[in-house]
Each structure stands twice: as structure tokens, then as C-alpha cells.
Amino acid sequence: MENLGYLAVLLAFCLSVYAIAASVAGRLKGKPFLVVSAERAVYAIFFLVTLASGILVWALMTGDFRFAYVAGHSNRAMPALYKFAAWWGGQEGSLLFWSWLLAGYAAVVVFTNRRKHRTIMPYVTAILMGVQAFFLLLNAFVVSPFRMLAMDGVVTALPDGNGLNPQLQYFAMAIHPPMLYLGYVGFAVPFAFAMASLLTRLPGDAWIHTTRRWTLVTWLFQSCGILLGAKWAYHALGWGGYWAWDPVENASLLPWLTASAFLHSVMMQEKKGMMKVWNMVLVASTFFLCILGTFITRSGIISSVHAFAQSSIGRYFVSFLAIGIAATVYLILDRLDYLKSESQLESVVSRESSFLFNNLILVASCFAVLWGTMFPVISESFMGERIALDPAWFNRLMIPIGLFLLFLTGVGPLFAWRRTSLESLRRNFQWPGLAAVVLVAALIAAGVRNFYALISFGFCLFVALTILIEFYKGSRAIAAKNEMNLLRAAFELTHRNTRRYGGYLVHMGIVLMFVGFTGAAFNQSVTAEVNTGDAVRLGSYSLKIANMTEGDTENYTWNRALVEVSKNGERLGVLEPERRFYKASRQGLGHIGLRPRLNEDLYVNYVVDDGKAVLQAYVFPLVSWIWIGSLVLVFGTLVALAPSKVKRQYARTEVVGVTRKYAPVEK
């Protein structure tokens, strides 16, 4: 079995090298059969990597503890779901998972484009297979998941495994890595198309139309991955936070920021033929940041609470990044003439300019996060000392950035292309602006003094109203014309231009999430050592320890507290925070008691240590809105992905002297 798995990975690696050579040679020498054979190699690689993964998963599920990987990341008592999730729970497995996803994506790309884009497809295949070859190289020679445990030269099985890290034995955590990886890996495809069109100097923006939807899907996966990670941190880590500017969290945020920038600036290229170089840079940066993200997560170069793995794969990643970035920079510089802009910026108050600033801010924030994350490495190489920056630094910088972005979210979509008249500004922003000012005044009167919180609530209301007014105006027009009710009309409106109104929904999701983030300014907490019968006060809540129990299961032992919650004397029910101690990995884990409400969450963590019981209780105002906002964001993205009822040709603004500048919408 294990030999078959290893052989499959090895063969896949050879095939990926062959696919690169065959598709490039086939393209240059004009030999279609070579190109086709390279594409068949792509399918074969997918089959082989699937086989290898299947063998590993089989070993995990059946508990074949001869495998070093299985012994390290699984044990008999673990539920089947987590045995399966152990596939991506450790270094070797997760890199195999990466390879498998990429092979799957590549097979889909080759299949869906088997009759399209024939001039660039050989290069697309070659670039995808270049990335594939790198990961298969790691799978085969550096961190093979098919290493056996041996005693005195004889392969030996252990009686039982180490178990998956209990912090990872959590439902959101089982699906968080696949989501994030789907995002990370998916960005190889837009990158491959962008580079292939540069290589061939393909006229027009065909690559953008082919990859726009792809980029959006990838972005959706990435968003889900990040948000699930936040949700997991909130539920599983017991400190009540959802984001701590940890290097691994930051690594997942970096490509998300550049991808968001790309999704906006790509509209400039579609509609006006502007920012072409910039888009190339964004696609390439996103891809390389995805690789960097995998590298930071997997190499433990920056010590992090998340660093579940540490290894010497670092130099392979650094070489891959260096070669890739150098080649991309050279390619872009060499083809600058092909990337000439077709129109110019006209006014500071215009859609173009709002996109420009949105991009500036997103990329600046990406750079800031990158700087902060890599600072230990940067300072070590320039100052000789490893220096870390703590979350306060990130907050100091990212809160104003976030608020400015929030503001742009509101105004940007309402600016007209080219320039916006004062009259239209007044018409669009008068009421939302006024309402925001009233809200801020009311909050000040109610005693809220936190500057950023006031600004944030004001902007949230402002942006939410501008979006609602947009929906209302459009729906009312349709309702009047077709004699339907407003709700049907709103549906019809969205259906007619899913991209635009889906985009608004995504913005709405972001606004709701900001409401949730802002709640953090008003968190309350208390920590106390407790015995049965004790009561702990927190704000208007009173927490009474009614009972403390303990018990034992096959996988872990547990301590549980029964906490009676009352608010202002009124009984609200009980919470049962639990502390588990996993036997296989000899590690503890808290299962918090949570009372989620739309206005605030009551969050109770229970720790038993050395016979002492400690209760930690927190009140987190508005946190639920982050998760609600996430759902709205996902829904909005799905709407934007759905095809519009009306197919439209995006006619470019006329540019004198340039012909054939109509961008066809993808078929």
C-alpha cells in the first residue's frame, strides 16, 4: 500500500515535469499532439495524487499505525470525521492535500478550456504544472507522508497513535483548512492565465473574462476559510477573541487583501482599459502571498501559537518564491508595451478615483500586515535582533485603515464614472450623512466616548443606508413599471445585474461585520477562583456555580461546571462550560459555555488545574453580527456569481484611435 502511494506521488512528479516540457515544446514547435499529451498528463496526475491521498486517508481511517504520519496525527478513539480531517492536520498530509487540490483545479481548467483559448492554454498548463511539480517535489522527496515507523530496520506498527491536536478536533476546524486551501490553491489559476496572456501577448483582456468568476470563487473560499478560523478561535481557544494578529492568521489575510483589491481594480480594466500593469501585479502578488502563506504556516519561521508544524521545508519555499517572483517581474517589465492604459483619470471625485484609493488602501494594509508579520525576520537580518510587534501595533494601524475602507465602501459605488457632479453627491449622500451624524450625536449623549467606535457606528449606518437606498430606488422603478410588489421588484433588480447588486450585498455583509468588530470596544471580563455555590458578578449578569462534576470517556476525561445565569435578578438558564483532557495527546482543551444573543454574547470558560477551579466570564457586545455579516457576505458573493438575466456587453468608453476594444462577456 505505502509503496503504491509513494510510487504514485513519484510518477505524478515525473508526469508534471513532462507536462511542462511537452506543452511548451508543443506550443513553440506547433505540434498539437504534444500539447494534448500534456493535457492528458494533467488528468493522469490528478488520478495519481487522488490515489496517493486515498491510500493515506485509508491508513488514517483504519488506524494503520505503521505510518509515521498516522501515528503522529490519529488515534483509535478519535471520531471518524477527525480521522479524515487528520489528512490536513499535519505537515506531510496537508502538503499532499495542497497537491491534490491543485491537481483537481488543473484538471478542471484543462477540461473546461479544451476547445477555448487554444493559443494560451499550453502556457497555462505549463505554469500550473510548474507549481504542481514544486509541491509534488516536496511530497515525494522532502516531507513524504508515506514514511514508515521502523524498529531495527523492521517496519513496526505502534499500538496506538498520538491523536490529532485536540484544538483541531473541532467542527469548524475540520473544514477551515480545506476552505483556506481551496482559496490558496485556486489563485494559481488566475495567475497562470495572466502570465500565459503576457507570454503570448494575447490581444484584449480574454484572461480577465475567463478568470473573473474563478477569482470570485477563490475569494469566496478564502473568505470562508478566514471567517471559519475566526469562529474556531472564538469557540475553541477559550480567550474569547476571534482575531489576534497571529502570523498564521495574517498569512491568510494577506492574499485576501490583494485579491479584494484585484476584484475591484479588474472592473477598471474591463470598463476602461486602465490599470493593466497594476492588475498583473495584483494577480501575481496574490498568488505569491498564497505560497508565502503556506510557507509561514508550514515552516514555523515566525513562532506562533498556531505553528503546529516546524520543518526544514523553508529553503524550498524561499527558492520557489525567489524564482517565481523574479520571472514574473521580468515578464511584466518586458511586456510593458502590451499593458498600456487606454484612458486616463479625470477627476478626484469619480468612480475611477474611488477604485484607485480602495486599491491603495487595501495594498497598503496588506503591506502593513506583511511588515508586522515578517518584522522578526526583517529586524533579524538588518539589525541582528529578532523583534516582534504585538497586536496593539496592528490595531493602531489597521483600525483607521479599516474605517477608511468602510467609508469608501459607502461612497465609491455611488460616484459616477469619469466625474461626479456636486448635485449628485448631495442627492446621494444627504440623508445617509445626516442620519449618521444624528446617530453619533445620540451615542455621545448616551455616554459612548470611544472615538473609533463612534466613527465606526456612524460609517456603518451611513454605508448601510446608501446601500438600502440603492436597492430601494431600483426596486421602486421596477415595481412601478411592472406593477409588482417591492420585494419581487428587489429580486428582479438583483437578477438583472447580479454583479452589481451581489456586490452591494457583500458590502452590506462587511458593514454588519464592522458593527460586530466595533462591539469589541465595550468588552467586559472577570476571572475568579470558584467553589460550588459561589456567585460571580459581571456587569448586570450574575453567575452561580450550581454544581461541579467530572467524568471519563474513551477519548478524554472531563470536568464540567453547571453555571446558573441570571441578569438583574431574572433567571436566564444554565451554561455548562467543560474542560477536557485528551488522553492520547495528553493535552487539555476547554469547551466554553456560550449564550449568544444579538446584542451581546455571554462567554464562560472553565479551567480546572491542580484541583483548583477557575471561572472566566466575558461579555462580548455585538459579536453575533460578525457571523451574521459573514453569512450575508457569502450570500452576496453567490449572488454575484449567478448569471445575470440580462447578458450585457460592456462597451468601453470610446477611445479615439483604438479599435476592437469591446470586451465580450464570457460565454
Partner 1 sequence: MKKYGKFAVLIVLILGTLIWLAAGGMGESKAYYKTITELGQMGDRAYDTRLRVAGDIEGGSIQRKGKDVEFTLVQENRKLRVAYHGNDPLPDTFRDGAQAMADGKMGRDGVFHAHKIQAKCASKYEMKPGQKAGGTSRAGL
Nearer CB in complex with partner 1: 112/527:
527
Interface with partner 1 includes 537 (CB under 8 A)?
A: no
Rounded-to-integer distance, Cα 289 and Cα 101, Å: 17
By the 8 A CB rule, do 329 and 195 touch?
A: no
- With CB under 8 A as the contact rule, which of the stretches 1-9, 171-179, 211-219, 631-639 interacts with partner 1? 1-9
Encoded one letter per residue, x for contact with partner 1 by CB under 8 A and - for no contact, window 592-611 reads -------------x-x-xx-
Q: Give the Cα-Cα-Cα angle 357, 184, 244 (nearest 5 degrees).
A: 70
Q: Does 590 bind partner 1 (CB under 8 A)?
A: yes
How many Cβ atoms from other residues are within 10 Å of residue 520's Cβ?
Answer: 18
Size of residue set near partner 1 by CB under 8 A:
74
Contact 512, 629 (CB under 8 A): yes
Query: Of the listed pieces 127-135, 262-270, 355-363, 635-643, which binds partner 1 according to CB under 8 A?
Result: 355-363
**Scanning residues 167 to 186, which ones bind partner 1 (CB under 8 A)?**
167
CA distances from 276 to 241, 282, 340 (A): 40, 10, 7
Which contacts of 241-247 are long-range, i.e. CB under 8 A and separated by 24 or more positions?
A: 242/623, 242/626, 244/305, 244/391, 245/369, 245/372, 245/391, 245/394, 245/395, 246/304, 246/305, 246/306, 247/296, 247/302, 247/303, 247/304, 247/306, 247/307, 247/373
Report, in Å, the least distance between residue 72 CB and partner 1: 4
Q: Is residue 7 involved in binding partner 1 (CB under 8 A)?
A: yes
Cα–Cα distance measured from residue 410 to residue 408, given in angstroms and rounded to the nearest whole number: 5
Name the minimum Å distance from CB 163 to partner 1.
10
What element of type H or E holds 525?
strand 524-530
8 A C-beta contact, residue 296 and residue 302: yes
Nearer to partner 1, 209 or 351 (CB): 351
Instruction: Enumerate long-range contacts of 600-605, CB under 8 Å, 24 or more apart.
Output: 600/519, 602/541, 602/565, 602/575, 603/240, 604/543, 604/563, 604/575, 604/577, 605/238, 605/239, 605/240, 605/577
Binding mask 78-107 for partner 1 (x = CB under 8 A): ------------x-----------------
From the list 199-207, 264-272, 568-576, 584-592, the region that binds partner 1 by CB under 8 A is: 584-592
Stretch near partner 1 under the rule CB under 8 A, chosen from 16-24, 254-262, 369-377, 453-461: 369-377
Regarding 200 and contact with partner 1 (CB under 8 A), the answer is: no
Q: Give the one residue of 473, 571, 586, 648 binding partner 1; rule: CB under 8 A.
A: 586
Q: Is 360 among the residues that bind partner 1 (CB under 8 A)? A: yes
Query: Within 10 A of 417 (CB to CB), how many other CB atoms are there?
Result: 13
CA distance 363 to 289: 12
Task: Report the site for partner 1 in 285-304 (rule: CB under 8 A).
Answer: 303
**Contact flag: residue 386 with partner 1 (CB under 8 A):** yes
Q: Are the beta carbons of 581 and 557 closer than 8 angstroms?
A: yes
Distance, in Å, from the CA atom of 374 to the CA atom of 371, rounded to the nearest integer, reads: 5
Please, which residue, 393 or 472, has the CB nearer to partner 1?
Answer: 393
| Nearer to partner 1 (CB atom), residue 18 or residue 357 | 357
120 in contact with partner 1 (CB under 8 A): no
Q: Cα separation of 454 and 443, whole Å? A: 7
| Closest to partner 1 by CB, 156 or 540 | 156
User: Is residue 3 within the footprint of partner 1 (CB under 8 A)?
Assistant: yes
Binding mask 490-529 for partner 1 (x = CB under 8 A): -----------------------------------x-x-x
Contact call for residue 315 and partner 1 (CB under 8 A)? no
User: Is the Cβ of residue 212 or residue 264 nearer to partner 1 in the bound state?
Assistant: 264
Give residues 203-222 in contact with partner 1 (rule: CB under 8 A). Answer: none
18 forms part of the interface with partner 1 (CB under 8 A): no
Within 451-567, residue ranges assigned H as helices are 451-482, 486-496, 498-519
Q: Does 368 bind partner 1 (CB under 8 A)?
A: yes
Q: Is 374 near partner 1 (CB under 8 A)?
A: no
- Residue number, 534 or 609, with CB nearest to partner 1: 609
Residue 154 has which C-alpha cell? 523492521
356 is an interface residue for partner 1 by CB under 8 A: yes
Which of 185, 356 has the CB closer to partner 1?
356
Q: Which of residues 133-162 bind partner 1 (CB under 8 A)?
A: 144, 146-151, 153, 155, 162
Q: How far is the CB of 624 from partner 1 (least distance, A)?
A: 23
Minimum CB distance to partner 1 smaller for 144 or for 279: 144
- Residue 396 makes contact with partner 1 by CB under 8 A: yes
CA atoms within 13 A on the CB side of 500: 19
Element (H, E) at 605: strand 600-609
Among 28, 81, 323, 348, binds partner 1 (CB under 8 A): 348
HSE value, Cβ hemisphere, 13 Å, CA-based, for 339: 18
Q: Which of residues 228-247 bind partner 1 (CB under 8 A)?
A: 238-239
**Alpha-carbon gap, residue 99 to 139, rounded angstroms:** 8
We find the least distance from the C-beta atom of residue 582 to partner 1, in angstroms, to be 9
